Amino acid sequence: MADVEIEYPRPDVAILRLNRPAALNALSWNLVEELHAALDTLDRNNACRIVVLTGAGRGFCAGLDLRDQGNPGALVAGITGPRAGLIAQNRMSSLIPHMRRIQQPLIAAINGPAFGGGLALALGCDIRIAARAASMCVQFIRVGVSGCDIGVSYMLPRLIGAARAHDLILSARRIDAVEAERIGLVTRLADDGRVVDDALALASELCEFAPFAVFATKQVMWANLDVPHLEAAIQLENRNQIMAGASGETDEAARAFFEKRKPVWS
């Protein structure tokens, strides 16, 4: 059985499911490799517009599988010591930029515990929806390493502010979905058992928009988190708006408005 599965409930929407339910979908090295491969597969699928990331069973992702941490296998074959550790660490942490690079926006459907690296995967998504029974924890410091790992020290302050991020990273305290929504870590709550359905409903809404518009929005939002000033952000926005205008999609949007119908995107 694969550790990562892709399901297409409709041609333009994919469910990317972590599939180690007995281990609460903890990050084994095999799962990391399969997740990289799945992201590549999705990125090449131009018919797929939106991806929902979730976990099988009752967990989203419990973080690093501690039983597997010293066994990166073929990834570092013939290499030992710090070099082997760095190669393996880079491979796991590079999941986050990989998620950012693929063309489809990712919706995290957090169906249960999202701890450590699992929380990092949720933070790497574009939108986060949590089941009311879900819980989250930046647990790295609990297992004897720095609390800053897999991009969390970059992503979390940008989502919830530096003060709250310091609290969660240093204390490694567990928060429930209600607190996560209150502080902005997630933006929507779902009834238990409904989080994937709610994520798919949102995915369907996003598929109503022009494909380039959705892709460009994801690209600009992440890029403009790091630009040095407002003018640089506006220049990137302007570039994509001109490209979108040249595609003819705005003309189709106008025709659809006056003809009182849904647009038919190219």
> Could you read off the pLDDT of 194-239 as tens digits, one per residue?
999 999 999 999 999 999 999 999 999 999 999 999 999 999 999 9
Instruction: Average the pLDDT over 121-142 and give the result.
Output: 96
CA dist 118 → 55, 64, 235 (Å): 10, 8, 35
Length of the chain: 266
User: What mean pLDDT, rounded, does the chain reach?
Assistant: 92
Residue 75 has pLDDT above 80, yes or no: no
Spell out the domain ranges in the chain: 4-206, 211-259
Q: Give the pLDDT band of residue 71 (cuts 50, 70, 90).
A: low
pLDDT tens string 237-261 = 999 899 888 888 888 888 988 989 9
Which of 86, 105, 108, 84 is CA-nearest to residue 177?
A: 108
Q: Give the pLDDT band of residue 158 (cuts 50, 70, 90).
A: very high
CB 147 within 8 A of CB 169: yes
Residue 69 has pLDDT above 80, yes or no: no
pTM value? Answer: 0.93
3-class DSSP state of 51: strand
Residues 6 or more apart in contact with residue 238 via CB below 8 angstroms: none
Give the Cα-Cα-Cα angle 169, 135, 31 (nearest 5 degrees): 85
CATH number, domain 4-206: 3.90.226.10
Residues 6 or more apart in contact with residue 14 via CB below 8 angstroms: 6, 7, 8, 42, 45, 48, 50, 51, 52, 104
pLDDT tens string 175-201 = 999 999 999 999 999 999 999 999 999
> What does the CA dihedral 202, 53, 45, 100 come to, rounded to 10 degrees?
100
Residue 165 has pLDDT above 80, yes or no: yes
Instruction: Average the pLDDT over 57-73 and give the result.
Output: 81
Report pLDDT for 253: 86
